[in-house]
Amino acid sequence: MNTETRREIFDLMSTHDHEQVVFTYDPSSGYRGIIAIHNTALGPALGGTRFWNYESDYEATIDVLRLSRGMTYKASVAGLNLGGGKAVIIGDPTKDKTRHLLLSMGQLIETLNGSYIAAKDSGILPEDLDIVSEKTRHVTGTTKKQGGSGDPSLATAKGVLAGMQAACQVVFGTKSLKGRVVAIQGIGHVGWNVGNLLWKKGATLFVADPQSSRVKRAQQTWKASVVPLARIHRVPADIFAPCALGGIMNADTIPQLRARIVAGGANNQFLDEKADPYLLMKRNILHVPDYVLNAGGLIYLVVREILHQRRLAPWMLNIERTVKQVLAASLQEQLPPLVVANRMALQRLESH
């Protein structure tokens, strides 16, 4: 990494107020990863680990910095006493994920003494977290066999659905999803569960995913229409649901959107968080901020593994209530919902 890039990274850390960012390379296992701890004012920083084939270390750094800050805001708005953190592993999970590498990651997490608590994100499975947990206690979402609560994606999807219903109430005057047309970008863990819940509610689905087995399954199970990757955001739909990776909403794609609502599980949906939310608002498209909508997975891990409780339903209602609150304030103040949600998150952090 050259000095120019390094300076930019430290500038980014200070811009977003990160507490600690750890870059680690372990040549014996090939582990190359970054753990970013954004803010621990409310509690330890819990957040997923993403295993992704980034084009550059710099791209990975930007991703982990943005994702970890999103976790701080997510926990704050959801009313959880947790901080925000996230980890990325640089590599192709289908080729580079080995037991040795996951143990290296566990060792590293252990050195942070609980300030970062791991969970799953793209490219990581509960079984992988079982291996990580051989080296550290600071892991959530391990398999049930290992004493954890397993994959939180269904809970994430339930929260996404609750938020979609709240958005439909605002735009269409009814929260019913029956007959609504929804275009889902990415039908992995979250996207698949979102699709399934929508299908059960009578929605008509359009899907796109580079993995052909997944789209085939969606065609067969839900009678979904399959759309090329580059066109999914252009489908004339009631709801566009980004459930893949970040940055889908940008200066190029926003003018092409033909949905009334954007509400999905993917983190960091705007490429430029300052300008893009305003572009979307100008087009009169309602956006439900991702970290408000997709908090269900985080809540699930906390309720099951930290609070040791069973009932999730009141927490899901809370997501719906928060979405309603954010959308109402956004309409009243003529501000993008993301700006309103960020303000709510910061208020709780500052008053703590």
Is 185 a residue that touches ligand NAD (CB under 6 A)?
A: yes
Alpha-carbon distance of 316 to 113, in angstroms, equals: 31
Active-site choice (86, 97, 120, 158): 86
Of the pair 209, 320, the CB lying nearest ligand NAD is at 209
Is 42 a residue that touches ligand NAD (CB under 6 A)?
A: no
Among the candidate windows 95-103, 188-196, 249-257, 326-334, which touches ligand NAD by CB under 6 A?
Answer: 188-196
Number of residues in contact with ligand NAD under rule CB under 6 A: 26
Is 87 a residue that touches ligand NAD (CB under 6 A)?
A: no
> Can you give the three-state secondary structure of 4-40, one letter per residue?
HHHHHHHHHHHHCCCCEEEEEEECCCCEEEEEEEEEC
Is 188 a residue that touches ligand NAD (CB under 6 A)?
A: yes
Minimum distance from CB of 28 to ligand NAD (Å)? 27
Of the pair 62, 187, the CB lying nearest ligand NAD is at 187
Among the candidate windows 10-18, 33-41, 205-213, 310-318, which touches ligand NAD by CB under 6 A?
Answer: 205-213
Is 93 a residue that touches ligand NAD (CB under 6 A)?
A: no
Of the pair 277, 297, the CB lying nearest ligand NAD is at 297
Of the pair 83, 186, the CB lying nearest ligand NAD is at 186
Among the candidate windows 19-27, 99-107, 172-180, 184-192, which touches ligand NAD by CB under 6 A?
Answer: 184-192
Selection from 174, 166, 133 nearest residue 150 by Cα: 133
Alpha-carbon distance of 257 to 241, in angstroms, equals: 12
User: Which residue is listed with tokens 């269900």?
Assistant: 296
Of the pair 185, 322, the CB lying nearest ligand NAD is at 185
Contact with ligand NAD (CB under 6 A) among 49, 115, 253, 294:
294
Q: Which residue has the closest beta carbon to ligand NAD?
A: 188
DSSP states of 303-327: IIIIS-----HHHHHHHHHHHHHHH
**Active-site residue flag, 145:** no
> Which residues between 222 and 281 bind ligand NAD (CB under 6 A)?
229, 243-245, 265-267
Strand order in the sheet with 204-208: 225-226, 204-208, 181-185, 237-242, 259-262, 286-287
Alpha-carbon distance of 300 to 283, in angstroms, equals: 35
Of the pair 28, 212, the CB lying nearest ligand NAD is at 212
Is 197 a residue that touches ligand NAD (CB under 6 A)?
A: no
> Which residues between 121 and 180 bind ligand NAD (CB under 6 A)?
121-122, 152-153, 156
Alpha-carbon distance of 290 to 91, in angstroms, equals: 25
> Can you give the three-state secondary structure of 91-121, one letter per residue?
CCHHHHCCHHHHHHHHHHHHHCCCCEEEEEC
Minimum distance from CB of 188 to ligand NAD (Å)? 2
CA-to-CA separations, 216 to 103, 141, 157, 232, in angstroms, rounded: 35, 28, 21, 16
Of the pair 186, 277, the CB lying nearest ligand NAD is at 186
Selection from 230, 237, 242, 151 nearest residue 191 by Cα: 242
> Can you give the three-state secondary structure of 226-295, one letter per residue?
ECCHHHHHHCCEEEEEECCCCCCECCCCHHHCCEEEECCCCCCCECCCCCHHHHHHHCCCEECCHHHHCC
Minimum distance from CB of 331 to ligand NAD (Å)? 26
Binding site residues, ligand NAD, CB under 6 A? 121-122, 152-153, 156, 185-191, 208-211, 214, 229, 243-245, 265-267, 294, 297
* Catalytic annotation, residues: 86
